[in-house]
Structure formats: C-alpha cells, structure tokens
Structure 1
Amino acid sequence: MHMRLSTIYSCVAASLLLGFSTTALSSGGDDFTANRFASEYDMDSKQISIFAAGNVGVVAPTYWRIYHYLAFQAAKGKPLTQAQLATLEINGWHIGNGMDWDYSYDPAKNGSGDWIKERAVFAKQWGLPQDIKFDIMAEKVSGESYLNCHEDAFRQATVTLKAHASLGPGGKPDAWHKAWLQGQDAVFANCEEPPHQYGQPVPKRVVQLPPALPANAPEWIKYDRAYQTAAANFYARNFDAARAQFQAIAKDDKSPWQKLGAYLAARCLIRKGVLEYPLVNDQPSAERTAILSQAKKELDAIASAYAPAKQLTSLVDARINPTERIAALARTLEKNAFSADTRRLLSDYLVLMDRQTPAQMITAAEPMTAWIGSMQAAPADPWTGQLSKEREQDRQLALKTVRQRWAPQGDPLWMAPLLALVRPTELSDAERKAAAGVPASHPLYQTVQYNLIRLAIAENQAAQADKDIDRLLAAQGKSMSVATSNRFKALKMLTAGSQNEFLKAALRKAEASAPGTPIDGKPADPAIEVDGDYDRTIYRFMPMAELKTLLKNPQLPAALKPNLQETILARALIFNDEQTALELLDTVAQGRNTTKHLYTRYRDAKSSQDRKIAGTLILINTPELAPAVFDKQGRQQFWGCKSGYGPAPTEANPMMAAPPRYLSQQQLDAAAKEQQILLKLPLRTEFIAPTLLDWAKQKPNDEEAPKALHFLIASTRMECPYGTTKPEKEQARASYSREAFNLQHKLYPNSSWTKQTKYYF
C-alpha cells in the first residue's frame, strides 16, 4: 500500500471509487447529443475563458453545473482570470482529468505499468514470474466496483523497489531484496476481487499475506514487512487487522512508516464504514456514522501536522453529513477569494451536488446552491416534451422560492432563474419592469433579454420582440459568443417580418469544436449551415406555395436547395400535384442515372393515371424522397415509422411550436390543411402498395413491375411501425408484402428481380 501522499486530489471525487453513487445527470454525464450551434450542456473550449471572465451570454438552464458556477461568480462580481481558470482544469462537467473509461485495465493509465516494467527487471534476476497482470478493482457487497489499489501505491512501490536494490553488499540487490519483492507481490495480489459467480454475494476475502521473515532479517525489511502486511489486510478488506497493524506502526519511533501509521489507521475506518455499512435508501446507519465520526476525530488530531489528513476530513465530512458539507462548501466558494484550495473545494461541491435532490438545492440557504438549483429547475425533459409531475413540482417550487426569498432583493442575479422559470403570462408587471431594468453591462443581461423576448413571442408580441432582437444585436452582437448569437437567431427566425429576414436568421455558424464538427478535412462552409429549427419550421408552417417561393429565393444557399427540392417533389407526388412535380422533375432527376428514365416516364405520361403510376415508381425506387413531416409537438415523423423522433415543445419552450411572424393566417391555414393530410399518411409501403399492386395485377409487359415489387417487399422489412399494438403478421405491410411476393413470382417468374426476391416480410 505504499502511497506517495504529497499529491492529494479531491478526496470527495476520489470517494466515488469507494462506493459514492451519483446520478451525474446535471453536473454532466452521458446525456443527449449536444447541439452543434448552441450546446445545451457545455461550450466551445475557446469560449470557456471568455465565459469565466464575465461574458456569459445566454446562460442555458441545461448547462452543466460547472458553467452555472462560473456564471454565478461572474454575476457576483468575481469573474475568473485565465490563470485561475487554468488551475481548475475543467474537463467537460467535472474538475480535473478524471479517469478514462479504460483506466482500470490500462497499466499505462492506472499506474501499474511502471511497476510491472521495473519489477520485471529484478524478477528475471531472482527467477520470479515476469509477466504479471493486475486488476485494480474490487467489488462491494452491492456488486458495484470500486478502485482498490490506487496509482500512488504502484508509484511508491516502484520507488521503494529501486531504492532497496542498493542495500545489499556492494550496493547491489541481495536475497533480502528478493524477499521484499515477494512480499510486495503478495500485497498487490489482494487488489483484485477473487472470481465468484455473477449476481451472488461477494464472498469474504482471504488475505494473501507476505511470507514471514526469519529472525536474522535486516531491520529495514522487518519494518517494511510490517507495513506490507498491514497493506495486504487493507486491500483484502480485513480492516480491523489492518487498523491494529497501522496503529502499531504509528507507535514505533524507528519505523520509516510511522508518520503514515495513524493516517492509514483512520483510512481503515473510512473504508470499513463505507464498504461494510452501505447506505440504505441513501440513509447512513448508526454504525456507519459512528465509524466515520471516529475516523474524523483521529484525522483532526493529526491534521495540523499532516496536510493529507486535513484534506481527507473533507471526505469524511461529506460521508457523515453531505448536506452540511455542501452548505459549507457553497459558503466558502462564494465568500472566499479564489485560492489554491478552490479547485479541490469546487470539485467536492460539484460531486456532492449530484447527491442532492432538486428540492434540496432549490431551498438551500446558500445563495449559490439555490441559484444553480433554480436555474436547473427550468427546462423540461427534452425527450418527453412535457414537464413530468415531478419536474413541474420542481419548477413551481423554484419559482415560489425565487420570488419569496431572492427577488425582493432587487438583485439582477435572481432575474435570470426567475425569467427562465416563468411561462407565458406568469410574469408580473413589477417583475417585468425589474427585468427590463437590468443594466446592459450586467453579465446576465443577455440571459434576461433572451427570456424576455422568449416570453414576448409566446405572448403574441412577436413584432416588439423583433425590434428588441435587432436592438440587442446592434448593440452587443459583435461581442456575443457563437452559441449566444445562434440562440438569438433562433428567436429572430420566428419574429422575422419577411422571408429574407427569416432566411438570414436561419443561417448559422457552428461552434468551433462542437460535437460533430469534422476534425480532418475541409469543414463545411459555415455560411450555409442551418439548425434543426429550420426544417421543423419550413416543413410544418409553410404551405407548398411558400416552399416553392422559398426555393426560388436568391438568398437561399445552393447547398440547401436539393433537400427542399426533393421534399417538395415528394409532397407533390403524394398530393397528385402534377404541375409542381413537372416543375421539379428535371432538377431532381439530375445525378440519378439509374432512375432518370422514371422521371422522363412521368413527364411523357398521357394521362393522370399513367402519371400516378410513374410517380409511384419514382417513390418506390427513390426511398430518400420523403415529405418531411413534423407533428404538432414538433417531432419529425419519418415516413417509414409510426412514431415521431426528437424533443417536443412545451409551454416553457414555445419556440418549437411557433410559426414565423411573416406568414399570413391564410398561409398558415393552407399549411395546416396540408399537414392534416401528411400526418394521416400510412407507412410508406402502405401508401405505395395499393397503386403499385393494382397496376402489377394487369401484368404489364414492363420490367419496372417486378423491379418495383422487389423494392416494395424489401421496404416492408425495413420499416419501424412502432406505436401499433397489432402483431406484425396482422399489419397491412405484412399483407402487402405477401401479396407482392406471390404476384411477382406468379406473373414474372423469369425476371432477374424475382430471382433476387427469396422471401417476403
């Protein structure tokens, strides 16, 4: 257990490896894919220093808590310098580099690599096994893994191994050096959990002790062997024995390990309390509390003379009473100036926040915690599209708390969560006046303005909102981050008074290192990128006539035209709008050499029925042609699937459900009628099949018939009809697939397409 304790990182963060369960949903974690144009969770790495310095732009409620901390400090007049920010080593949602996913079994990362390498040199000399492997993880009674042998243990063992090599005659390793190495091998053999059946209770560990030494062994190895024996018991979870042995070392003035004795004896108590008395329903048992309290008492006794003991008390405090500890951390971080301790304290604070319920954070007496908790109570669940009962309760609690405890102070700091929390019509005249009075120089000014504009749009004040956006962009647009600029553009797209203004607002620039940005190769032209709100808006609220006008707009970038052309054509074929289809045939046919003749067939058709068949052949041969449908909740409906995809809008986020201001009511009504048809469309194959099968039954002397039947059958196997309770065999697509298969094999048995069709759905 040799440990170099001169470098101690966040004890509370490290404690996660000893069974500190955490949700990590708000401080960060494997959440949803971030928006490339305005991340919901973090920001471009180059922007962090600007953000921490006070230019926070629009602070998203969904930001990870580290960014809420930075915004809070900036709003309190305590922005961070670049040097201070660098000491935090912000890595995603946490402080410091943390551990990679392969840390536990990658020797180069977990510290065992150097030990294995140095050990092999002497193992070869002593005839000991050279090729060894380590599993540094052990298992709690709950079945969760924890880090048993830390990096410092391997590092110090490596240093000691080389140092002891010079203690033999002539400064060379001798038999006692071999004995020391054998003892250390026994220590590290206790790192991993012995094999046992998965799901079964973890069996009691049998400690692998270092071999006993003869009476004539040198004093140095006797001291080391006593330490090795205690360490072996520690790793094997034999904590009572290990504690007694470390206490004995602490009393031995001659032992080189005396200074560590009392400290490690207290650590035995910590591990015993955590591992042997796990939390039950997040509540500690009396035994756990008593053991940890004793550990704290012992650490306090040596803290003045031994810095690591003082730092470890943070962990024990968090274990005994995490609520009190997080309160103390919040007070320290808010009131004290930035110092060398800030990194560790902030790391502990963020980790402990993940153990708190939203209600605990919202109602905290400490302003920092309450502010962060209130900000994070604002957003709805992005997948359900509505506030769950619990989330709505959190929002109501936060709104009530902010109003009763904080807003009366008149501090602009509290306008940010207040405005993020309120829905349309919930803001009082006094609150609106106070929000409007936040000075433009305040770090949270843009956050306040964003939410005021958001509410204005939802309250049918889009014209005034448009003026406010223009005023704000003119005054502060050049200093805005890419993400903040894009957030205001998203609002501007809805308040635009013309199609040209709409298009200008729709064009976005992605954040420099946003997820999904190409690392290699030439990046996309930032001038022609659009976010998801562009498709959602044009395809839901614009009727065919407006889409055709948009297509002809000279401001529409060429890169956006193909998708729009294909969508308009798909809708035209579905609506039997021959004029629109004929207008787009030649353009959409370009580059489609294998199906170009089908577009010619449509143009040359002699009747509407022939054109309908030609259009059906185009659709079945060109699966990428789709009508781009979005439901009333703003979720995209894929033609081959029954259910929608993506986040749905809520009253708290009405932008997803709002049409652009410039569209007339007549245009919106026309779009709504078209949407009714599109939303009632059956699955793609179920739409195509009736026309195609009726035509094929006439046994036309046309190779396109068996080919189209082949594609129809294949398509039925690739759809996702989720949302229906019917068994697959009873679904219409299954019936169509079977009918198409039988028809193809009966009427076109010699076709190459028939021979490729081995089975139906």
Structure 2
Amino acid sequence: MLAFFLLASSSVWALPEGRRACTLGYVNSIFTPSQWPDRSLEQLAHGQLGVIDPRFDHFYLFLAYRRVTGKPVTLADLDRLRQFDPCWDDGSSGFHGKEWASSSVMQAARREWFSARSASGLPAVRPGAGARPVSSVMGYAESALPNCNPSAFRTAARTLRDRMAAHGAGAWVGVWAEGQDRVMQLCFDASGELPGEASPDAPSWLQADRRYQIAAAHFYAGHHDDAARLFTEIGADASSPWRSLGHYLAARARMRQAGAAETDAQRVVFWRQARELLEAPAAGAGDPSVQPDIARMLQRVRLKLEPARVFSEIDARLGARGLPVDVGQDVRDFDAARAGSARFDAADPGFAAWLRALRSDGVAADADIATASRAAFVAWLAAAKRDDPRLAQLLERAAGVPRSAPEYQTVQLHRIRLLPDARRAWRIAQEFLALSAGELNEQDRNRVKSAALTLAPTARDLASLAYREPIAHPEVEALRTNPRVIVPVLDTAGGELLNRALPLDTLYAIQSSPVTPPRLRRELLGVVWTRAFVLERWDLLQKLQAGMRAYLPPASAVLMQKAVAAEPTERRARAALFLLRHPGIVGSVATEVAYSEGLEALAMPNMHRVLFEAGSRENWWCSLPQGRYSQEAPTPVAPPLPAFLGDRERRQWRKEYDVLLATPNGTEFLAALLLPWAKAHPRDADLPPALRMVVRSARGGCITPRTRTMGRDAFRHLHRHFPGREETLQTPSWG
C-alpha cells in the first residue's frame, strides 16, 4: 500500500473524484468561450456538437471528430475520458489555476492522516522550528506543487490502521509511525529531516517498510539519484514485498531528474534510464494493479525519446473503430502541434490530419469535395475562404446536410459566413437564430450573430445582432451581481461596428428605438450624448435631455443650465461641467468586463494601469472612436461600413470620423473648455468638482504634457478661488 505515496506526485493527479467546471480565466469571452464548448461531455458524445470551433482544446475536437466520422464513443469511453477533460476539477482548481497545496482534496487527505495519527495514540514527530509552509522540489515558489499527492496521506492513514491491526500499538508500530511522520512532512517541506535506518533488531516487516520509507523520503526531498538507487535496490530484492514497485518508482525519480536537467543531452540520459527501468522484467512483476501506470509512464518517456513514432501510434488508436482503455491518456498525450505532419485521407482521415485540416488556412489544393467523407468536408468547409475556387462545390454540398447530422449547426454557420448571396445568407441566419434555447445555446447563438453582423439589412437588425447575452456560467453570475462590475453588451465584433462604423444619427436611431434591448439602449445613451457633445450636435443633445435626466437625476440642474444656455460658449462649458462630474460616461460602448465605483468615480487604471481592482473602464475616453490608448498611437483600420448605409450617411460618417480622430483625450478636451470658462467666471459655483476631476485625471494614464499643464492650471484656480471648499481640501497637490 505504501506504493501510493508516490503514484500521483507528477504534475497531474489521477483522481476519480471531481466535477466538470470550465472557467473563463483571462482568455475566454463571456459570450463565446474559445477553449471549450458550453455543452456536457454526454451531449458531445451523443452528437449534439453545436458549432465546432477550431479553437477548442483538442480534447473536445476529438469528441467532435468521433461523431463526424461515425465512430462511437461509448459510455465506458466517456468515463475513461472524463478526468482528462481540461475543465475537470478534482478540487484543486483556484482563481489562478491549480492550487495544489491548498486544494480541498489535499486538505481532506491531510485531515484523514492526522485523524488516524491522533487515534493511534502513538507519539508524533513535530516539524522543526524552521519548517516552511511549502518548500517544493518542483520549483513553483509560493504556488508550489507539493512533493507528494493527496493519496499519499490517505494511504498512509490506511497503512497505519493496517499495521496497528496486525501488530498492535506497540513500540515497533510507533517507530513506523515516527518514520512516516518525517516522510509526510517532506511532502510540504523538502528541507525536512529524513527517517533513519531501522535498528538491526527490528522485525522484518519494519525493515522492509523502512527501506521503502527512506527511498520515498529521498524522492520527496529531491534527492533523485538516491531515490532511484534505493528503489532499484528494492526492485532487485526478491524478499521485499515492494519489489514489483521498485523499478517503476526508480523510473519516476529519473523522470524528475530529466525535468530538472539543464541540457538536452542530460535529459536524454535520464529519459533512457527511465525507459530501461520501466521495460525491465521486474517492473510491476506479480502486481497487475501497477501495470497500467507503468504503461502510461512508458508512453510519456517514449514521447520524449521517439516523439514521431509514438505520436503516430496514438493517432492510430484515436482513429480506430474501438477506443483503447487508456484513451484518456492518449488524448492527453496527443500533441496537437504535430498534427501538421499527418497524411490526410479524405475517405477516412485520422484525428491528427482532420485537426490540421480544420485549423488550416484554406482548403487543400487536391481536395475532392464531391467524394470526400463527411469529416473531411466539415474540416474543409470550416477552413474555406470566400475566394476559394471550390466554394460553389462546398456550398452545394453544405445545402444538403440534414438537420439530424451532428455537424448541422457547424455547416449552417459557415453557409452564413461564405454564401455570396447576402439575402440568402441572412435568411439562413434568421432561421438559425429562431431556434429555441434547447436547440441553440447562447455560446453558439452569439457565434451565429457574429457571422451575420455584416449581413444586417437595417440598423435595427444590426443592433439586434450586435447585442450579446453572456453564457449561463457561475463566473458570469458573480460579475452580474457585483455592483462594481460593468458587464458588456457587445463583443469585439459588435463593438467595432457600433463604435467605429456608424454615423451619429444611426447610433441615435438605435439608441432611441424601443425594440433595441434595454441594456444596449442604456449603454448607448451616454455614448451618443458624449459624441453629440464632441460633434456639437445640439439637436441630438436636446433630444437626449429627458433620457439623461432620468438616468442621472442628481445632474438635472447642470443639464438644465446647459439646455437653457443660449450662448455657444456657455453651452459648451455647461456640457463640460456635466461630463466632468461623470467620468463613467464614456465615448464608446465597452466590449470587455470593466470595474468601476460608479459613473461619478474616477477609474484609477486609466492613470495607474496596474490597479486592476480600482476600476478598469476609461475616464470619458482615451481616443475617439475606441481603439487607441493615446492619440499618438497608430489609427486602427476602420471596419467595412454596413451595407444598409446610403451615400449621404457614408459621407456623414467620414466627416464625423475625421473629427473624432482629431479629438484629444477626454481630460484634455474637457479641460480646454473648462479653463477658459473658469477664467471668465472664476467663482462659478459649479467649478470646484470639475476642477478637482481635471487635476486628478491629469496625473497619469492616456494623457499628454499639455494635459498635465492643464491639471496644474486647474489646481491653481481651485486653490486660488475656492480655498475653503471641500474639493480644495481633498486636493492638496496637483502632481
């Protein structure tokens, strides 16, 4: 039983317990996660594939491959695959990834050992005064991977109970327990003390156990040469009850050495030594339970020594009609980066060749669309471009794919993307989007919307397509219930169009339309107001007056002053005074999750970009339209304008776009309106909050030297003319 002290101390724990819990992390969009499908493994295995995204982890694409090739994935296969799912959480997942030391699995296992140890009544060895919380030989600093795995603690507890049942709570079991205390302490502190040799008069069972304990202790302490030597001796000792494990664990030590080696030559030596140990007749002899682990480990070693050959063997097994018992390990060991070397058989492509075709940039030159298998056709369709000479053949075959086919939704998405006839593509998109939530999940619905964006025949249709609902996910719910979080209503593609490809009148039409989703209308209210102000569209500002006053009742007085101002200079100044009170009213619709204390609060990362938790939205704007952090940065290429815009609207967009591009950052633009007004009306009662905001925002972020000068001027005016105001007392310095 002591064997299990080491069985899972590699970088992945092979634990059957757990659950599927995909995380968004820093990569996956809340609308269309790119690494995993928002479907259960059972759905995928039964052919409910949804839209096959080439960006998915190859684990999920393997399940899709099996379905489109007509090869089964049995319930037994699925159970064998489950714990190899990249989303599988065995209790060790944390915010920043795997948190092995503090995981619930590890803590539960340690409690089991401590409980058994306490129940034994035997004296315990306490850690030394200099013991560290986590000192790993794996080298991961504070997020260290413990030197042993949870099953080590659980098995130690069982073994202690077994030894007590066999030998009682006598002195020799006490010696065993004290030695095991030192072994277990090394799991978290590699610098701890190792157990000593058993005394010559110790019983044979303790002599054998102690030799094993010492070998394990050397392994945990990072003394891999000693561990390999001692485990090899155990494997060569015909009298040892641990003989069948000796070579296996010696190989584990050599693998650890290979991982830490500084040169390729050294690594090869250690990998070869590990292979010799695993292929030795004594490895696992007489113990069938360890043979699967030996086979998996041998495959890992061979992948290092002869990667092309082993990759080919794995690919052949993954493409066979029936899957091997170790299918999960095969999928994990499959190196997607090697798929480019696989030969493509259009009649029955292997997994590697299919994956390469799916992720390729275009259709193979020798592709025979008419006779190719379903799998080959799906891969080619996903990779096709609009200028492909075989596009007509691909689309003709795509039109005949039945709704019952696992690839149906994938095919429909690419028909929308590729059809030259925009009206026909639009009709397909509308039919697709009319499917129920049970037929089309939110992840795939958002993909279809993105594919159809450029097909929208009206601004109303564009708004409907651009608007996004996040997938149902615990992390999304946490964001939505956090009052400091701004959850976007557009993804990047929708934001590109609404922020950078529509004239202001069209944006206003979308914002004011009752059929526009309420969350998008609310987001657009501030954006349209801000752009109307910058572009001096006083007619639109008047139309937005009621909506803005309802949205921000405390600002009604300032808005009314602007509304009744007859003189243009005062009108601009009053509008600037209003906007300076609300840095959260921005010039572009957000496309990423942002953090903010509220519309009235200055978002700190605009000035100190590392202060993620203080807020991450822009203050007003860094650039207009969205896309540059500073005005000096290169101007991004504007997206193609929607087809429904007429010539007059396109000319208007060009004129507005040039003005917006030339507009300085929000702080500088507003200060340029505020300071002349302050000079002419030095004691205007509405000035202090605005002056303080200019001072604070001019301290850093997307600013220029001119912005900083304006911040200093605002500071001087605030202190000269309003020395007793609260805003002045809160602003003791300008830099």
Q: Normalised by the shorter chain, which TM-score bucket? A: 0.7 to 0.9
Correspondence for 1:411: 373
1:148 is paired with a residue whose SS is coil
2:106 to 102, 109, 118: 109
Are the counterparts in 1 of residues 3 and 245 from structure 2 also a CA contact under 8 Å? no
- Distance in structure 2 (CA, Å) of the matches to 1:656 and 1:93: 37
- Match for 1:755: what amino acid? L
- Distance in structure 2 (CA, Å) of the matches to 1:629 and 1:474: 27
Are the counterparts in 2 of residues 406 and 414 from structure 1 also a CA contact under 8 Å? no
Are the counterparts in 1 of residues 586 and 618 from structure 2 also a CA contact under 8 Å? no
Correspondence for 1:272: 254
- Match for 1:684: what amino acid? G
Q: Compute the displacement of 1:431 (Å).
A: 4.8
TM-score when normalising by structure 1:
0.77
Distance 1:700 1:149, change over 3 A: closer
1:371 to 354, 357, 360: 354
Are the counterparts in 1 of residues 584 and 620 from structure 2 also a CA contact under 8 Å? no
Are the counterparts in 2 of residues 567 and 626 from structure 1 also a CA contact under 8 Å? yes
Flag structure 2 segments of 5+ consecutive residues without an equivalent.
Answer: 16-21, 592-616, 630-635
Are the counterparts in 1 of residues 496 and 639 from structure 2 also a CA contact under 8 Å? no
- Distance in structure 1 (CA, Å) of the matches to 2:356 and 2:258: 33
Are the counterparts in 2 of residues 37 and 514 from structure 1 also a CA contact under 8 Å? no
Correspondence for 1:311: 293
Q: Compute the displacement of 1:116 (Å).
A: 2.3
State yes or no: 1:180 paired with 2:176.
yes
Distance 1:165 1:489, change over 3 A: same
Correspondence for 1:492: 452
Are the counterparts in 2 of residues 88 and 96 from structure 1 also a CA contact under 8 Å? no
1:219 to 183, 204, 209: 204
Where does 1:286-365 land on structure 2 (aligned, <5 Å)?
286-298=268-280, 302=284, 306-320=288-302, 321-338=306-323, 341=325, 344-353=326-335, 356=337, 359=340
Correspondence for 1:203: none
- Distance in structure 1 (CA, Å) of the matches to 2:9 and 2:215: 25
State yes or no: 1:513 paired with 2:473.
yes
Correspondence for 2:632: none
Q: Compute the displacement of 1:714 (Å).
A: 2.0
Correspondence for 1:200: none
- Distance in structure 2 (CA, Å) of the matches to 1:194 and 1:372: 43
Are the counterparts in 2 of residues 136 and 147 from structure 1 also a CA contact under 8 Å? yes
State yes or no: 1:739 paired with 2:713.
yes
Are the counterparts in 2 of residues 482 and 509 from structure 1 also a CA contact under 8 Å? yes
Where does 1:78-97 land on structure 2 (aligned, <5 Å)?
78-80=71-73, 84-89=77-82, 93=86, 97=90
2:118 to 117, 120, 132: 120
Where does 1:570-719 land on structure 2 (aligned, <5 Å)?
570-628=530-588, 639-641=620-622, 657-717=639-699, 719=701
Are the counterparts in 1 of residues 92 and 100 from structure 2 also a CA contact under 8 Å? yes
- Distance in structure 2 (CA, Å) of the matches to 1:423 and 1:719: 41
Distance 1:434 1:261, change over 3 A: farther
- Distance in structure 2 (CA, Å) of the matches to 1:533 and 1:327: 39
State yes or no: 1:261 paired with 2:243.
yes
Distance 1:300 1:331, change over 3 A: farther
Q: Compute the displacement of 1:371 (Å).
A: 2.1
Q: Compute the displacement of 1:473 (Å).
A: 5.5
Q: Compute the displacement of 1:425 (Å).
A: 1.3
- Match for 1:413: what amino acid? A
- Match for 1:50: what amino acid? Q
2:319 is paired with a residue whose SS is helix
Q: Compute the displacement of 1:442 (Å).
A: 3.4
Deviations 1:534-554 (A, max 9, x none): 444233332222223223423
Deviations 1:300-342 (A, max 9, x none): 8656862423432222232233333232222112204246x2x
Are the counterparts in 2 of residues 36 and 510 from structure 1 also a CA contact under 8 Å? yes
Are the counterparts in 1 of residues 183 and 194 from structure 2 also a CA contact under 8 Å? yes
1:449 is paired with a residue whose SS is helix
Are the counterparts in 1 of residues 32 and 471 from structure 2 also a CA contact under 8 Å? yes
Are the counterparts in 1 of residues 417 and 451 from structure 2 also a CA contact under 8 Å? yes
Kindly indicate whether structure 1 or structure 2 has the higher relative contact order, using CA contacts under 8 Å at least 6 residues apart: 1
Correspondence for 1:44: 38
- Distance in structure 2 (CA, Å) of the matches to 1:614 and 1:238: 74
State yes or no: 1:454 paired with 2:417.
yes
Q: Compute the displacement of 1:140 (Å).
A: 5.2
Q: Compute the displacement of 1:284 (Å).
A: 6.9
Deviations 1:619-650 (A, max 9, x none): 2122233321799xxxx987443596699xxx
Where does 1:19-58 land on structure 2 (aligned, <5 Å)?
32-45=26-39, 47-58=40-51
Correspondence for 1:2: 2
Are the counterparts in 1 of residues 682 and 721 from structure 2 also a CA contact under 8 Å? no
Are the counterparts in 2 of residues 571 and 627 from structure 1 also a CA contact under 8 Å? yes
Q: Compute the displacement of 1:684 (Å).
A: 0.7
- Distance in structure 1 (CA, Å) of the matches to 2:35 and 2:542: 46
1:697 is paired with a residue whose SS is helix
Correspondence for 2:508: 548
Correspondence for 2:609: none
- Distance in structure 2 (CA, Å) of the matches to 1:67 and 1:267: 33
Q: Compute the displacement of 1:358 (Å).
A: 6.7
1:138 to 136, 159, 163: 136
Correspondence for 1:380: none
- Distance in structure 2 (CA, Å) of the matches to 1:362 and 1:737: 65
- Match for 2:510: what amino acid? L
Deviations 1:62-103 (A, max 9, x none): 112221111111101135466753553267625673743332
- Distance in structure 2 (CA, Å) of the matches to 1:243 and 1:756: 67
2:525 is paired with a residue whose SS is helix
2:424 to 455, 460, 464: 464
Are the counterparts in 2 of residues 120 and 131 from structure 1 also a CA contact under 8 Å? no
Distance 1:604 1:493, change over 3 A: same
Correspondence for 1:202: none
Are the counterparts in 1 of residues 698 and 708 from structure 2 also a CA contact under 8 Å? yes
Are the counterparts in 1 of residues 558 and 578 from structure 2 also a CA contact under 8 Å? yes
The sequence identity of aligned pairs, in percent, is 21
Residue range with higher mean Cα deviation, 656-665 or 70-79? 656-665
- Match for 1:757: what amino acid? T
Distance 1:571 1:328, change over 3 A: same
- Distance in structure 2 (CA, Å) of the matches to 1:247 and 1:91: 31
- Match for 2:579: what amino acid? L
Correspondence for 1:62: 55
Q: Compute the displacement of 1:214 (Å).
A: 3.9
Where does 1:176-215 land on structure 2 (aligned, <5 Å)?
176-192=172-188, 194=190, 208-215=194-201
Flag structure 1 segments of 5+ consecutive residues without an equivalent.
Answer: 17-27, 196-205, 378-394, 648-653, 722-727
Q: Compute the displacement of 1:405 (Å).
A: 7.5
Distance 1:453 1:193, change over 3 A: same
Distance 1:481 1:281, change over 3 A: farther
- Distance in structure 2 (CA, Å) of the matches to 1:665 and 1:61: 38
Are the counterparts in 2 of residues 543 and 674 from structure 1 also a CA contact under 8 Å? yes
How many corresponding residue pairs?
Answer: 680
Distance 1:744 1:142, change over 3 A: closer
Q: Compute the displacement of 1:615 (Å).
A: 1.4
- Distance in structure 1 (CA, Å) of the matches to 2:426 and 2:653: 23
Residue range with higher mean Cα deviation, 34-43 or 272-281? 272-281
- Match for 1:56: what amino acid? L
